[in-house]
């Protein structure tokens, strides 16, 4: 699925690149998880997206930040 956006003179599209599931503990403290009654084994689904930009003069730029090595 693609979403189009306008960023000044740039035309952009956000392109879905799949998804991943991560342990909730990567993003929340143990206290926060307890406050929401989430088990320590809880996981969260995340959408991975790429930003494709095209400038007014036709230059194309692909922005893919990835998820890093420590996730």
Q: What is the DSSP string of the chain?
A: -EEEEEETTEEEEEEEEEEEEEEGGGTS-HHHHHHTT--TT-EEEEEEEEEEEE-TTS-EEEE-----S--
**CB proximity list for 4: less than 8 A, separation 6 or greater:** 11, 12, 13
Is 71 a residue whose pLDDT tops 90?
A: no
Residue 70 placed within a domain: no
46, 19 Cβ separation under 8 angstroms: yes
Residue 56 placed within a domain: yes
Average pLDDT of the segment spanning 33-60 = 92
Q: Which domain holds residue 8?
A: 2-63
Question: For the chain, how many structural domains are there in total?
Answer: 1
- pTM above threshold 0.85: no
Output the pLDDT for position 68: 73
Residue 68 placed within a domain: no
């Amino acid at each position: 699925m693609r979403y189009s956006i306008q960023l000044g003179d740039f035309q952009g599209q956000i392109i879905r690149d799949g998804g991943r599931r991560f342990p909730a503990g990567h993003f929340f403290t143990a206290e926060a998880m307890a406050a929401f009654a989430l088990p320590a084994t809880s996981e969260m689904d995340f959408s991975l997206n790429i930003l494709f930009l095209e400038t007014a003069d036709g230059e194309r730029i692909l922005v893919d930040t990835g998820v890093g090595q420590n996730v």
